[in-house]
Amino acid sequence: MAEFTLELNDDQKQVRDWLHGFAADVIRPAASEWDEREETPWPVIQEAAKVGIYSLDFYAQQFFDPTGLGIPMAMEELFWGDAGIALSIVGTGLAAVGVLANGTEEQIGTWIPQMYGDADDVKVAAFCSSEPDAGSDVASMRTRAVYDQAKDEWVLNGTKTWATNGGIAGVHVVVAVVDPELGSKGHASFIVPPNTPGLSQGQKFKKHGIRASHTAEVVLEDVRVPGHCLLGGKEKLDQRLARARERAASGGERVKNAAMATFEASRPAVGAMAVGTARAAYEVALDYAKTRTQFGRPIIDNQGIAFQLADMRTQIDAARLLVWRASWMATTGKPFTSAEGSMSKLYASETAKKVTAQAVQILGGNGFTREYPVERMHRDAAIYTIFEGTSEIQRLVIARTLSGMPIR
């Protein structure tokens, strides 16, 4: 088991510097253009694939870093470059985590490589959980998966929403209800392979921020997938459903939910994304405060500005520490007895919103224009307190974990 440390080793520093260089040289120069276009930045994703950033091998190396710091370090640097483009580069990772969290070794080896493609033929993947009437309330999910035993196929029907890469993805990972009587415990995850009939893109959303990341509805109409596309396999599903029924009858402990397992694994990574955006805005504000003069002196000489910057840096460092702790705990198998994963996501997300707003204020009128990047960073930061569990849901998870009450 790796000891907890705040010092990156030489290999990690090398990777961090490499990612920072890509973010500075490739992502940032393209950020404003793709934000305005509100389109997937395929050329940037392809560049990331060419240098090895957008690849299964890269994310596997970071995911299996024994210190747990590989993924949060990578997320921070990429999102320091630009949140929208970075989400287009890493969005496939949520679908991959869905397979890693719930799939068999064979499914992991078969489907995750197909999610990325290669540098000459880049692909993306989508994780589809939220629905128009079931976001945080996963128990209200309506998408159904019915098993056709004669053909060994699952038939999926429903509509998913807020899906990153939804509709343009090759591989979709879809969470559906297999036993409505069990509520959220009756869910399972399915692979929908490329070009499967019945899957289509619904509405594409025009968003406040992260506009370079494609977000859309995914419509499933009699989508048939082979039995082997059920993540974890039918035998494991039947056993899990049987346990859920027994515990429901006896009032026992809860059974792991497929969608929640994915979110629990990814929350510290989302916190790291928020840290990257906050750090970027802070650095712009700091540089501006040191060079902008009013009344014959740099505005950082004013305590009103200086104290804001001090608070911004303190909050960013505190958020990073919470993210690193949760990431280390997850990697080393330490349970989140106090919902440390949700703590990291909650605090980092709220910090990103606060810090980017302060950065706009420090830049004054300039901060309100698109000539400076803090306006875009502030819009982008709003998503962190919403997706993969709102701040309100994180507080609920933390409170119920501390009290010992079940998280439904």
> Can 221 be counted among the known catalytic residues?
no
200: nearest Cα among 108, 117, 99, 128: 128
324: nearest Cα among 19, 71, 12, 23: 71
Strands 144-148 and 125-128: unpaired
> Cα–Cα distance between 357 and 385 in angstroms, integer?
14
> Cα–Cα distance between 189 and 102 in angstroms, integer?
8
Out of 39, 217, 388, 392, the active site residue is 388
Q: Looking at the chain, how many residues does it have?
A: 408
Q: Are 172 and 128 in contact (CB under 8 A)?
A: yes
Show the beta-strand stretches assigned E in 273-392: 293-294, 297-298
> Cα–Cα distance between 8 and 317 in angstroms, integer?
15
Q: Please list, in sequence order, all residues whose beta carbon lies within 8 angstroms of the beta carbon of residue 320, skipping any fewer than 6 positions away.
A: 72, 76, 272, 275, 348
Q: Is 11 exposed, middle or buried (0-12, 13-18, 19+ CB in 10 A)?
A: exposed
Q: Helix or strand or coil: residue 190?
A: strand
Residues labelled catalytic: 388
